[in-house]
Amino acid sequence: MRTVCNWDALAAVVCGGSQAQSFTWGELINGGYNVVRFLKIDDGMDTEVVVRVPYQPLGLTDVAAETLGHRTASEVASMQYVLLHTRIPVPRVIAHNTERDGGGVGCPYMVMSKVEGIPLVKVWNDMDDTKREVILRQVVEILLQLSSLRFDSIGALFKRDTPSGPEWYIAPSAKTLSDEVFTYSPEGMARTFTDAFDYWIAYASRNMQRLDAKHFGCMKSLSYSLAWLHRSLIPSIYDTSLDVKGFPLIHGDFHSQNIMYPFFIIDHPLWEDDHPLKPRNVRDQATFVRLMREAEGKIDAEGPLPLSRAFETCQGVYLLEQSVVDPFFIGPQLHTPLFKHFFRKTDSEAAYSYSFDLES
């Protein structure tokens, strides 16, 4: 993967919109999918913005280029929708371009207002319980607001301009993701879904089809067997009594490094059983559940509290969905806790372990 960007040309685009005469590039940060740079504009107000450009695969094809543009368009639309319809603090999109060459810049890009502060992951472990509860209340409020933004199908959010104003709509998520652009979303899902169960069955089935095609004519690999196991477990983990009309807008990576909030609901899959942070996580989880119940109960005192109940019983869903979505990266680390959760192994039973080569 690489970054193809004429940084000076991009800075000129930003400065042209602010009537600034000069600029200074700041820190460059390499993320999982994008490169981020800070740009200080000499406009008399010391304005600093965040510039983000996506990684590109070597030998960029037309399909991959279109995919990168669609992904940027969906991210911009989602941020603008959240800013317009909630009180959640999100960066403001100042400029963006979804074309293959970015209008002369060399790639799609997004320019955003800078959010001051530091990732909470850097200070979370040193906070006392009182301060963490303040943060957890904010997390609950964000999740409830996102849960109120509902659509009639599962896919990616886009926006188009019409004579009567902006119009948001849901399109297949496959248009925003492709295996050519460093992602784990499977090919062949170029449609929207109106049922979450069907979505995950299709997702897991596509993983099996991809592995079957890769090893066609050979003995099935262990990775294929794991994909089959993932698909077979799906019918047993979803509580349809929690279904609510519509599908909520969700953050694709609700992580402390991305949105300044702690990834506290589950333990890290690589932690040992005696990890010192596990007892604290238990307290945080209990606090989160209590606060979620209180907040959701204020919205509908007589309601079934579906979001609260979903979070209370989310461990199995989390482990399985992460294994399905990301079987070749995080998946191996998740399989041991996944097996423990579903098959209820205890310390008093015979120890079990496994090792495998996903490419075998």
Per-residue pLDDT of the chain (360 residues; tens, 9 = 90+): 567 788 888 988 888 766 677 888 888 888 778 899 999 988 778 788 999 998 887 777 787 788 888 889 999 999 999 999 999 888 899 999 999 888 888 889 999 998 877 777 777 878 888 888 888 888 889 889 998 999 999 889 999 989 998 899 999 876 544 444 334 445 556 788 888 888 888 888 888 887 887 766 666 677 788 888 888 988 887 777 777 788 888 887 666 555 445 444 556 666 777 887 788 888 888 888 889 888 988 887 777 788 888 888 777 887 888 788 776 655 566 777 777 777 765 444 444 444 444 443
Extract the tokens encoding 309. Answer: 């109940």
Helix (H) or strand (E) holding 24: strand 23-30
Give the burial string for 211-226 (b: 16+ CB within 10 Å, else e). Answer: beeeeeeeeebebbeb
Both structure tokens of 180 = 């050519």
The 3-state DSSP class for residue 156 equals strand
Cβ 93 vs Cβ 112: under 8 Å:
yes
Q: What does the DSSP assignment read for 158-181?
A: EEEEETTEEEEEEE-GGGT--GGG
